[in-house]
Structure 1
Amino acid sequence: MKKNKAKILIGCGIFCVLCILVSSWYAVKFNDSRLVVPMDFNSYTFQIKDLPMIISVSLICIYVFTLFITLIVSIGRNRQQIERTNTTRKLNPKLGFLGLLGFWGFAGFWTYSIDGSVFPFAFFLFFGFFGFYYEGKMSGTFMDERFRENAILAQLKASKVTFSIILIALIVLCQGKLLGNFEYTLIATIIVLSLALALGIFLSEYLLYRYDHDDHADESEE
Structure 2
Amino acid sequence: MSKKKIRNLVVSGIGCVIVLVLATVHSVLYNESRLVKPTVVSEYVFRPQDLPMWIALVVTIAYVIYLVVTLFRVVWRNKSMEKNHTRRIHPMLGLSGFTGFLGLIGFWTYQEFGIIYPCFAFVFFGFFGFYFEGKLSDTLKDELYEENEKKAELKAYKIGFILLFLTIWLIGGGMLAWNLEWCAIFMLSSMSMIFGIVLFLSKYFLYRFETEAG
Class of the TM-score when normalised by the shorter of the 2 chains: 0.7 to 0.9
One-letter amino acid of the structure 1 residue matched with residue 11 of structure 2: G
Cα distance in 2, alignment partners of residues 132 and 112 from structure 1: 30
Structure 1 pair 40–200 and aligned structure 2 pair: CA distance change class (3 A): closer
CA-based RMSD of the aligned residues comes to 3.1
Partner of 2:9: 9
Give the gaps of 5 or more residues in structure 1. 217-222
Q: Does 1:203 align with 2:205?
A: no
Partner of 1:53: 53
1:56 to partner: Cα distance: 1.9
One-letter amino acid of the structure 1 residue matched with residue 12 of structure 2: C
Determine if contact 1:35/1:53 at 8 Å carries over to the other structure: no
Partner of 2:184: 186
Give the gaps of 5 or more residues in structure 2. none
Partner of 2:19: 19
Q: Choose from 136, 146, 149 the match for 2:147.
A: 149
Number of residues paired by the alignment? 211
1:113 to partner: Cα distance: 1.6
1:122 to partner: Cα distance: 0.6
Q: Choose from 116, 119, 124 the match for 1:118.
A: 116
One-letter amino acid of the structure 2 residue matched with residue 53 of structure 1: M
Partner of 1:32: 30
Moved more, 90-99 or 169-178: 169-178
Structure 1 pair 194–71 and aligned structure 2 pair: CA distance change class (3 A): farther
TM-score (norm 1): 0.79
Once the two structures are superposed, what CA deviation does each residue of 1:150-170 show, in whole Å capped at 9, x if it has no partner? Answer: 111000000111122113312
TM-score (norm 2): 0.81
Structure 1 pair 187–59 and aligned structure 2 pair: CA distance change class (3 A): farther
Moved more, 160-169 or 198-207: 160-169
Determine if contact 1:39/1:114 at 8 Å carries over to the other structure: no
Once the two structures are superposed, what CA deviation does each residue of 1:179-208 show, in whole Å capped at 9, x if it has no partner? Answer: 422211110111111110111011011111
Identity among equivalent positions (%) equals: 37
Cα distance in 1, alignment partners of residues 39 and 110 from structure 2: 13
